[in-house]
């Protein structure tokens, strides 16, 4: 039986989407894309997972397109199929109904950098490197990476990274806002799980709607996002979502309920 190129597992209430081609630095091929789509759907349906972590096995997060396979040649139809699957992955990631954290070590470049940027935020270790080599190998950024990169680091820096194809290290990624934290390699999973623990104590419904509002707010007017936020408030209020969490916070802070 062929081993999955992307697998899913859960530890407690944290789901893990794990790139699993360490012998190729988790580079992207056809099986990788098929398995990634499958595991995103599994993660979406996993009601026990409060958060999801995206990461890679071995020395890399994801080294982008598997150039060994690409160099063998692809037909136009194969390129179309790959593009469709990459963009389906981006759509599924954006529709994921829970927070998604990128846990990055080693190379997160090309399509791998786009996977990282599609996460809600990123934790990197000191070995991490980020970049977009596409212009140097005759390819282009495919899965809304141009938009995500511009939103996260700003237009000028996005163009510099995309045009030059230069890789940046973890500290530079932190400086420009591409990652939220940089930690020693031995502490990467610990730091990521600490963040998952904090987020996992929050209301799943509130998290889902807040994630949606922040993402939609990037493309809405102020009036539109206020309408969306009002609808979300009515949804959580109508469901009585706040009652359990307010009572829990009051108990945590030793506040007696009247």
Using CA atoms, how far apart are residues 102 and 10, in angstroms rounded to an integer? 15
252 belongs to the catalytic site: no
DSSP-derived secondary structure letter, 107? E
Q: Which of 120, 115, 109 is nearest to 86 (CA)?
A: 115
- Asked if residues 90 and 84 have their Cβ atoms less than 8 Å apart, the reply is no
Q: Residue 174 has which token pair?
A: 């932190």
**Looking at residue 71, what is its pLDDT?**
62
The helix or strand, by DSSP H or E, that contains position 18, with its residue range, turns out to be strand 14-19
DSSP-derived secondary structure letter, 50? S
**Looking at residue 235, what is its pLDDT?**
85
Main-chain dihedrals φ then ψ at residue 228, nearest 5 degrees: -60, -45
Residues of the chain with pLDDT under 50: 250
**Looking at residue 79, what is its pLDDT?**
87
Q: Which of 3, 69, 77, 114 is catalytic?
A: 114
Q: Which of 45, 92, 98 is nearest to 206 (CA)?
A: 98
pTM of the model: 0.90
Handedness of CA 234, 205, 239, 46 (dihedral sign): positive
81 belongs to the catalytic site: no
**Long-range contact list for 217-220, CB < 8 A, 24+ apart?**
218/151
Q: Which of 126, 134, 223, 227 is catalytic?
A: 134
């Amino acid at each position: 039986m062929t081993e999955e190129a992307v697998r899913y597992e859960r530890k407690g209430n944290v789901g893990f989407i794990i790139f699993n081609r360490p012998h190729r630095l988790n580079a992207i091929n056809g099986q990788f894309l098929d398995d990634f789509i499958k595991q995103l759907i599994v993660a979406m349906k996993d009601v026990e997972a409060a958060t999801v972590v995206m990461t890679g096995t071995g020395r890399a997060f994801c080294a982008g397109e598997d150039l060994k396979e690409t160099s063998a040649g692809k037909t136009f139809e194969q390129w179309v199929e790959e593009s469709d699957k990459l963009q389906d992955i981006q759509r599924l990631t954006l529709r994921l109904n829970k927070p998604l954290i990128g846990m990055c070590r080693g190379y997160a470049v090309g399509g791998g950098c786009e996977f990282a940027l599609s996460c809600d935020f990123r934790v990197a270790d000191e070995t991490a490197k980020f970049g977009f080599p596409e212009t140097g190998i005759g390819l282009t950024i495919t899965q809304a990476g141009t938009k995500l990169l511009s939103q996260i680091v700003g237009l000028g820096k996005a163009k510099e990274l995309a045009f030059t194809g230069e890789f940046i290290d973890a500290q530079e990624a932190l400086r420009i806002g591409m990652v939220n934290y940089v930690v020693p390699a031995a502490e990467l999973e610990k730091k990521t799980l600490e963040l998952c623990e904090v987020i996992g104590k929050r209301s799943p419904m509130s998290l889902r709607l807040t994630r949606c509002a922040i993402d939609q707010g990037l493309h809405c007017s102020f009036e539109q996002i206020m309408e969306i936020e009002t609808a979300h408030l009515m949804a959580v209020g109508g469901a009585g979502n706040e009652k359990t969490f307010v009572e829990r916070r009051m108990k945590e802070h030793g506040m007696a309920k009247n």
